[in-house]
Chain A
Amino acid sequence: MKFLFKSIVLLLPLAFIAMFYILLTDEDAYPGTDYKTFDIPKFQLENLENTKLIDNDEIKGSFILNVWASWCITCRVEHPFLMNLKNQGIKIIGLNYKDERSDAIEWLDKYGNPYEITVHDLKGSLALDLGVTGAPETFLVSNGKVVAHYQGEVNDAIWSNVFLPIIKEKGMF
């Protein structure tokens, strides 16, 4: 009895701590995060603003690739945060996804343009190659290689927990 009591007193709280440890380090802590590394697939698409053709050579170095569309509600929620990033001097390239050119340009005029270049992917071909399932999605690209992929709205918490650690580790920007 005494032994039983003692072991319960010690083991119960520890089991509890262990349980929270498992919950906290659960990989799904940020569902929608993927750290697979791969090269940006070959593509040739129009620039949203001036219809010039863009291919892999035009988007080099390290940047954030943000998939968005004017019909996407969450993109508008995400938008101020991207403007914020741009103001911090972070290079963002937009991938306008399955969107009418006029709608997209109007959207950017209305809310502001956080993107250095916006690639117009009307059919969603590059998006398909990248593994995009919807909008918004965001990729972290380091020297032409995708190093992180997040499905959903990027905000402060996602930025500092999903992207910033990699950015710091790789010394990007």
Chain B
Amino acid sequence: MHPHRRKRLFNIILVLLFSTSGIGLILYSLNTNLDYFFTPTELKNINIQEDKRIKIGGMVLENSVVREQSKVIFTVTDYKNYIEVVYEGIVPDLFKEGSGVVALGFMQNETFYAQEVLAKHDENYMPPNLNINNDN
């Protein structure tokens, strides 16, 4: 092999090595930092580690909102299953009973401790994935 060629081959290998390891690192950190989204029903059927940050979405059950000091406790439902959510802080403007909500936080002993509670800036917002099937 010509030294010139060898240098070229070396460069190519170097570029490939760097780019694959770079992309690999990015993908790895993506994979460890994903927030999965669940509806209350989906959540009932799987086990979530307590330290795994997840999102839950659903409707705020009517007459379920309780305020204790600076905490807000409410129930999120897809009208099949129910999850109690505890949140410390001020709920967003569009948060109300009977409307859609998305919360980000951790699941601990059947209770969801929310770090963030979101309601979209649109009156017509429905949480995704929620086929309301409230056939009682």
Contact = CB atoms under 8 A, between A and B. Distances in A.
Q: Is there any pair of Cβ atoms, one from A and one from B, under 8 angstroms apart in the complex?
A: yes
Interface of A: 1, 31-32, 71-74, 76-77, 98, 133-135, 151-153, 155-157
Nearest to A76: B98
B135 A153 contact: no
- A interface SS class: loop
B27 to A, nearest CB: 16
Nearest to A69: B134
Interface in B9-67: 12, 59, 62
B62 A77 contact: no
A155 B126 CA distance: 11
Contacts of A31: 131
A133 B135 CA distance: 7
Contact of B131 (A71, A151, A155, A157): A151
Contacts of B62: 73
A98 to B, nearest CB: 7
Contacts of A151: 131
A155 B124 contact: yes
Q: Which has the most chain A C-beta neighbours within 10 Å: B8, B62, B124, B133?
A: B124
Interface residues of B, number: 15
10 contacts: A31-B131, A71-B136, A73-B134, A74-B126, A74-B132, A133-B135, A134-B132, A134-B135, A135-B134, A152-B131
Contacts of B99: 73, 77
Nearest to B98: A73
A71 B123 CA distance: 20
Interface of B: 8, 12, 59, 62, 98-99, 123-124, 126, 131-136
A156 B131 contact: no
Contacts of A32: 131
A30 B62 CA distance: 27
A72 B134 contact: yes
Nearest to A97: B135
Contacts of A71: 134, 136
B75 to A, nearest CB: 13
Contacts of A155: 124
A169 B62 CA distance: 41
Given A31-B131, A32-B131, A153 B124 contact: yes
Closest A-B pairs by Cβ, 9 of them: A73-B98, A155-B124, A134-B133, A134-B135, A74-B132, A134-B134, A133-B133, A134-B132, A1-B12
